[in-house]
Structure 1
Amino acid sequence: MNYLLPRHPSPSAIRTLLSLPPALRAATYTSTSPSSTKRWQSDSAPTRRPRTAIFFPGQGVQRVGMLDDWAAAFPNTVKPLMDEIDERLKFSLTKIIAEGPNSKLTATENAQPAIMATSIVILRVLEREFGFNTAERVDVTLGHSLGEFAALVAGGYLREADALRLVRKRAEVMARCSREVNEEVGMIALVCEADHMQPMIDAIHGFLGLASEGSKADSHADQDMPAAHQVSIANINAKNQVVLAGSIRRIRELLTHIRQFGGHDPRAVRLSSDSPFHSPLMAPAAELMKKLLSQPSPSEKGQDMIIWPGAMPCISNVSARPFQSKQQLKDFLAWGCVETVQWHDAIVYLHQEEKVRRWVGIGPGKVGRNLVGKEVGMKGAVKGGGVWGISSPAEAERVLEDLEKTESAVED
């Protein structure tokens, strides 16, 4: 599908956008765009099939052996892809995926490229073994945090080889940032009732000394501390879930404060991450990404790292809207290392404004599928709609059958 793109915001406009509270960015981004409020529109005859999105998972879904079933079922496709992965990285990542141990696979520098590589392998199997034409069957692509790289590959903005190297290099810096601090750091998810969400976020901002709406770009009390001691809202995942990143000690102090004085008692779940992603501690990774994305593609001589335009819109984690230009994509992909992942806002936008009705998660794990399903309904919410996940060959067959059955189903 071809789509029309508005003139992209200037660097000063982008800085202004990021200085706003996360909750206000999307609305401001839309209202100030010189184009219509639609982020893309087709220049061809409208299709009768439901609008379809594919999405990809972030860190935490990795497991030893997550490519085994695919390699066994489709060796002629998967094994050459696995060889390419190892050749591009100059070490045997696929051996770590296949054999572990789990502690080695879970290390950030291995987990991130492993998840991205597995996601793309699954997509290529769908295309080559099942005849799934991504460009024709999909309207938009997105990825949760790390999954944004797989989404950019699927959407035609990044070459596989470049994306894999970028993810590995970024992950190495992220892991080093966490190892070098003399402070326990990590991530904790907070789950509350949906109608308590905004008051809880306000209480978090109040504790951190942010402005009433809160923004990482504001200069207030928490930002005056060393990066290792700061706390940030790393992800807004659902209408009842946020993830905090940073100093575990400070996060626990924050929880005590909002429980005692804020009138909130969220359920807190420590995530299996030894790095506070999307926090100020990840600033060196953002700088690295900015540098790497300004260089030519290592895999395509004489070409830019980013292909523009892509084959379909791809949603940014930073703005919760489609990338609008090559430079904006580079900026947002770098800033995504330290900025809040606006996942919930992206799903609401696609569901309510762009009328996406079919959602297909591609990659290991079910976390992304569950988050999307909470917002839009797993199945039956609208005619022809549904949320599916493909992490095994058996699931691939079932999901593609369901897509065929709903191909001509549209809302009345």
Structure 2
Amino acid sequence: MAPVVTRPLPQALVGGSTVAVRWSTTIQPSSLKRGLNTALFFPGHGVQRVGMANTWMSHFPRTTTRHLDEMDSILGFKLSQVIRDGPNSRLNQTQNAQPAVMAVSVLILRILEDEFNFDIGSRVDVTLGHSLGEFAALVASRHLQFPDALRLVRRRAEVMAQCTRRMVEQSGDTYGMVALICEPDHLESLLRTVNEFLGLGTSHLDDTGHPPIRQVMVANINSPNQIVLSGSIERIRVLLVQLRQFGGHDPRAVRLKSDSPFHSPVMLPAAEDMKIAMQEVDITFPGIVPCISNVSALPFKSKQDLKHLLSRQCIDTVRWWESIRYLHQNKGVQRWIGIGPGKVGRNLVGKEVGRVNTKGGGVWAVCNPKEMEETLKALEQTEPEAYCI
């Protein structure tokens, strides 16, 4: 059997301390893994903040500089300067925010791989990403190369921004996304009632046979007590009134940091554009590990399936909660590693699988160098027998 190699963490980590972390560098996953155990997941739009790459630059300047220079070269402009200096108004623009979040997520992944010799193929069983995060997940699983994924994300974001501007000009409405938060045992009933008002059920139609609320969609089903609506903010407000007066529900509503109605029919031109763009991209299938689709909540099945579902993702509901349940309940995933800015993804995963820190399982987020150290130590303590001697 292969020996376990002990490697120190770089002294650049917080406090300058060196902590021994063990992992096997020679065990191959295909012959030893007993089902699925470890998932790597990535966040989506909304976690961006000015300076989100700064701590990585100060601790790992070589890898960070190389990665950000590559990003700027691929995009043809200094997105790294926007990430570093802002202003917020520019970073939050869809065409900047989405490639920025994706690129910083992949930066953290590269630091994990290059600075810590963390081998995705032998340490991780499956990847997934929340909406935009699916592109970083596909890079991690080696279905997509980083340059191709970054160009796709930028192109997708530009068309999404155009879709929003066009709809605002046509309708005069304000568009965006609103999270609805309810009690866990009310979620199914809330979804059923929302779908009826949106015309996806059989009742609540007006005198002309049309749904009373149009151009609104359930964009995300995020957790046992949270869904996200996308579309006209005014029409979402009308829907909330209908839910409270006639639907028997009173969810808490939270406006999200987005001025675009992602995962709604407004984004149909973006889905069509992505369908064309995907034909020009080199996809590796299978990757080194499976990747879960937001649209199907199951692993991508083929190159064509990946191209189809990734283009559909612009307008279809993100079935995040179903994806987590599939991996947790059906496939036995016990260890969840969030890679990227912010802790939104970790919190959503934790709602389903719990914040377990006992041997064999856990939910961790790697958002800064200190958390990298803590996560690697936790992974060592919960390492499956198939990976360790």
Q: Which runs of 4+ in 1 moved over 2 A?
A: 42-50, 211-214, 220-223
- Alignment pair present for 1:93 and 2:69: no
Cα 1:50–1:209 shift into 2, 3 Å: closer
Indicate yes or no: 2:132 matched with 1:143: no
**Match of residue 227 from structure 2:** 242
Give the Cα–Cα distance (whole angstroms) in 2 for the partners of residues 100 and 71 of structure 1: 16
**Contact kept? 2:36, 2:331, Cα under 8 Å:** no
Indicate how the Cα distance of structure 1 residues 194 and 325 shifts in structure 2: closer, same or farther if over 3 A, else same: same
| 1:104 counterpart residue number | 90
Q: Which residue of 2 aligns with 1:389?
A: 365
Which of 328, 331, 335 is the matching residue for 2:305?
Answer: 328
Query: Could you tell me how far 1:209 is from its partner in structure 2?
Result: 2.0
Tell me if 1:293 matches 2:278: yes
The Cα of 1:206 is off from its aligned counterpart by 1.7
Kept after mapping to 2: 8 A contact 1:48/1:408: no
Q: Which amino acid aligns with 1:261?
A: F
Q: Give, as a single letter, the amino acid of the residue that structure 2 aligns with 1:200.
A: L
CA pair 371-258 structure 1, distance change in 2 beyond 3 A? same
CA–CA separation in structure 1 for the residues paired with 2:138 and 2:366: 18
2:10 alignment counterpart = none
Which residue, 199, 210, 223 being the options, matches 1:221?
210
Query: Map of 1:119-130 to 2, 5 A cutoff?
Result: 119-130=105-116
Give how far 1:364 is off: 0.2
- After TM superposition, list the pairs within 5 Å mapping 1:70-219 onto structure 2: 70-181=56-167, 182-212=172-202
Alpha-carbon distance in 2 for matches of 1:175, 1:336:
16
- Residues 121-165 of structure 1 show CA distances to partners (whole Å, capped at 9, x for unaligned) of 000000111111111100000000000000000001001000000
2:364 aligned partner, one-letter code: W
Could you tell me which runs of 5 or more consecutive residues in structure 1 were left unpaired when the two chains were aligned: 1-41, 215-219, 298-304
2:277 corresponds to 1:315:
no
Task: Compute the displacement of 1:383 (Å).
Answer: 4.0
The separation in 2 between residues aligned to 1:201 and 1:260, in whole angstroms, is: 16
SS at match of 2:180: strand
Partners of 1:189 and 1:237 in 2: how far apart?
9
Report the CA distance between 1:388 and its aligned residue.
0.1
1:55 paired to 2:44: no
Matched to 2:80, the amino acid is T
1:280 & 1:324 partners in 2: Cα distance?
25
**Do residues 359 (structure 1) and 336 (structure 2) align?**
yes
Amino acid at match of 1:404: E
Query: How far has the Cα of 1:45 moved from its partner?
Result: 3.6
CA deviations on 1:294-346 (whole Å, 9 max, x unpaired) are 12x4xxxxxxx211111110000000000001001000000000000000000
**In 2 relative to 1, CA 131–43 (structure 1 residues): closer, same or farther, beyond 3 Å?**
closer
Aligned partner of residue 235 in structure 1, secondary structure: strand
Q: Which residue of 1 aligns with 2:379?
A: 403
Partner Cα distance (1:127, 1:209) in 2: 47
Q: AA paired with 1:151?
A: A
Gaps in structure 2 of 5+ consecutive residues: 1-27
The two structures have a TM-score, normalised by structure 1, of 0.82
Could you tell me how far apart the structure 2 residues matched to 1:288 and 1:249 are?
A: 28
Q: Percent identity?
A: 58
Q: CA deviation at 1:409?
A: 6.1
**CA RMSD for the aligned pairs?**
2.0
The question of whether the paired residues in 2 share the 8 Å contact of 1:185 and 1:246 is answered with yes
Matched, 1:255 2:236: no
Q: Does 1:271 align with 2:256?
A: yes
CA distance in 2, matches of 1:292, 1:111: 20
Q: Distance in 1 between matches of 2:203 and 2:262?
A: 21
TM-score normalised by structure 2 residue count: 0.87
